[in-house]
Amino acid sequence: MQSRLAIGFRAAAASGVVALVVLGGTSTSSATDVAAAAPVGNDISFPQCGTSFPAGQAFGIVGVNDGVPGTLNPCLGPSSSYPSYTVSELYWAVTTSTGSAAQPKASAYVNTSDPGNMSNGAVESGWPTSGATPYGTCTTTKVDTSSGPATVGQDSQACAWEFGHQEAARDTSWLRAAAQSINRQSPPLSIPTTPRAYPWWLDVETTNTWQQQPAGQAMNVAVLQGFVVGLRAGGAPSVGIYAPPNQWLAITGGTSSSTTTLGGLSTWIPGAGNVTGAQALCASSSFTGGSLALAQFPSGSFDGDVSCARPTVTHSSVTDIFGRTADATAAAEFTRAFPFAKRSCPATRAAVIASTQEYQDALSSQFLAADLTTGTLLTPTTSLPSVTAATLREEGITTVYLVGGPLAITTAVANAIANLTAYECGGVSPTAGKVAVHRIYGQTQYATAMEVAEYVGAAGQRAFPGAYATTDAASGTGKYNDTKGTGTAAPFIPLEPTAILASGVEFQDAQAASVVSYRTKLPLLLTPSTELSTTAVTAIQQLGVKQVILMGGTLAITDTVEQALVEKTGVSVLRVAGQDYTDTARELARFEAANATEGLGWTPGHRIAVARGNGFTDGLCGAVLDNPNNAATGPPGSARPLLLTEKPTLVGNYLTTFLEVTGHTGLDSTTSKTIRALTVLGGPLALSTAEISAMQTDLSH
């Protein structure tokens, strides 16, 4: 790794350089050394622009920056200085690497630093002045500069975190733009344009500016945490740390597996004199508490890298999908299911939009989204967020269905959407018109759910007569009922039009069931807990529904409501319920995966989704990840249950037990349905690094 400026550490009042020992020797490797080790890759960046690149590498890792954050490597993609794609380092990594089982062909790394709000008496131009962060709000302060008084962002952990987050967003946008520029060459090329196609690394070295002392190290850690969260929000499938261990200690003060966001990240360390030394270096301990993935060594005039793949690591894989806001998380989930860069936009050119203010409309909208083979995006009540507008453009959306009335989504927002220019898939070429807008709503959340169901006009048919069997110890009815709540006997004709009924007062049961609504095209209707919704009755009658999946125990929907439902509509009722919302989600997952006539027969593709159970924003639109028409969301034909934690810092006993069992014997006690991977909906504030690690351990138990 090479940085452009050897600036060193920055103190609050003075600057200085801390000398650190470099690990290992400095001798170059011989051809015999290199031939003896495989797989071996190379990392290159701006110093190699305009020169010959390495050849025969198993993998390539490319620097995004020109040495320091906020600068662009001029040969990452085609540029005015290097216009040909053939001298693009990203093109080199993707198209000339041979690949290996241990490392993907191409990865990216970004330079990091913590310049603070001022340097040498001048304001740092890239330092933020606002932003909500895990450390509170980044705000401004007054300072004296060599040019006079100025208003700058505070030299605080909050602003430091925001700095890292902003730089990460810029880095992912630069990689996307570089790839798109390569693909615009003639004849057309095709390399991945989405940041999620490349593992990412943070280059953390003392040659760039960092702050000193414990307070400064805390700022440095905040910067790096912001980088990690920003890269993940931009789509990075993984983030690791490149650093000499002693420099990492000097910059951060040391981190462990319990350090928020940084703990447990994969590491890549330099210091070996040759390839043999790099292989020996792979036996070192990781300074983050994670796995040691790569070791670097000098290879002729380039940096060489040895994969330290450790087959003994048994933790399950984790995919994080989230954004900084509820709107951005919904957009990340949408684009994950429909990766527009691969021209996999919704075929119907439609999208559904609901309000972020409440959960009911977004959850009941999943039935409509499934019918349109699209997903749901979010907007605040009074203003259209830029991330939602950008997603409409990139996904080639020409028609939007607003779910919710003017109190949920104002007319001003509807007009703002209607004034958007419609684009073709990919967001580059505009169509001839604007985005068409349709609104579906009722006077209450219950009426809106009815209107959505009736707009679609047909409920999916399902048969699971064996699910009605047995009575639990509390005299509750049904195979997936862990409470004393009642249901009915199975329908006389097994295959019947089916609907879901959940509480409109609490979100958890409806959120877990939203993936069933989407995947199996069953209307998701809502009712108060203690009084049957008349609109739910109307929808059931209008759609000819004969079977209802009732979500939750008697605290969610009382027996009185269940009995009134049977009396008014004559439906058969299967109650799916647990002792709390995490248990209900677990019982629903059992039902989803059960074979034959006892459940929905889902094959989860060895993966489940998890969201926090004490906040609705992250999982509102996650059902789109079960888009059955796009293999990018999982193996074709697979469907993933949505499980809930108790809260961000507590998995909960029911989910823990579920993970331990399904990680060993599989869902529905079927080894082919063993769960080995997690899709986490929400960032580190929604589910902590420690809890994610605990869930991985539970699966590997």
Contact residues for 222 (Cβ-Cβ < 8 A; gap 6+): 133, 135, 157, 158, 160, 161, 164
- Six-digit token pair at 679? 């899709």
474: pLDDT strictly greater than 70: no
Q: Domain range for residue 370?
A: 345-440
* Count of domains observed in the chain: 3
Asked if omega into 187 is within 30° of 0 (cis), the reply is yes
> Residue type for 560, please?
T
Q: Is residue 319 part of a domain?
A: no
**In terms of pTM, does the model score above 0.85?**
no
Q: For residues 232 and 118, state if they share a domain.
A: yes
Q: What is the mean pLDDT of the chain?
A: 88
Q: Is residue 88 part of a domain?
A: yes
Tell me the C-alpha to C-alpha distance, in Å, between residue 615 and each of 33, 136, 612, 624, 687.
54, 19, 6, 19, 11
- Six-digit token pair at 252? 């951060």
Kindly report, residue by residue over 90-110, the tens digit of the pLDDT. Answer: 999 999 998 776 788 899 999
Q: What is the pLDDT of residue 635?
A: 56
Domain boundary among 262, 293, 311: 311
Q: For residues 677 and 540, state if they share a domain.
A: yes
Q: For residues 560 and 606, state if they share a domain.
A: yes
Q: Is residue 28 part of a domain?
A: yes
Q: Is residue 286 part of a domain?
A: yes
Q: Is residue 340 part of a domain?
A: no
CATH number for 248? 3.20.20
Q: Is residue 321 part of a domain?
A: no
Q: For residues 75 and 187, state if they share a domain.
A: yes
Q: Is residue 450 part of a domain?
A: no
Q: For residues 474 and 436, state if they share a domain.
A: no
Q: What is the pLDDT of residue 316?
A: 63
Q: For residues 534 and 470, state if they share a domain.
A: yes
Domain boundary among 440, 474, 495: 440
Domain boundary among 396, 412, 440: 440
310: pLDDT strictly greater than 50: no
Q: For residues 520 and 419, state if they share a domain.
A: no
- Measured in whole angstroms, how far is the alpha carbon of residue 27 from the centre of its chain? 42
Classify residue 685 as exposed, middle or buried by CB count within 10 Å of its CB (0-12, 13-18, 19+).
Answer: middle
Residue ranges with strand state E in 24-78: 40-44, 60-63
Work out whether strand 132-133 and strand 136-137 pair parallel, antiparallel, or are unpaired.
antiparallel
Q: For residues 511 and 407, state if they share a domain.
A: no
- Six-digit token pair at 264? 């447990």
Kindly report, residue by residue over 187-222, the tens digit of the pLDDT. Answer: 777 888 888 788 899 999 999 999 999 999 999 999
Q: Is residue 335 part of a domain?
A: no
Q: For residues 294 and 360, state if they share a domain.
A: no
Kindly report, residue by residue over 316-340, the tens digit of the pLDDT. Answer: 688 888 888 899 999 999 998 898 7
Q: For residues 479 and 421, state if they share a domain.
A: no
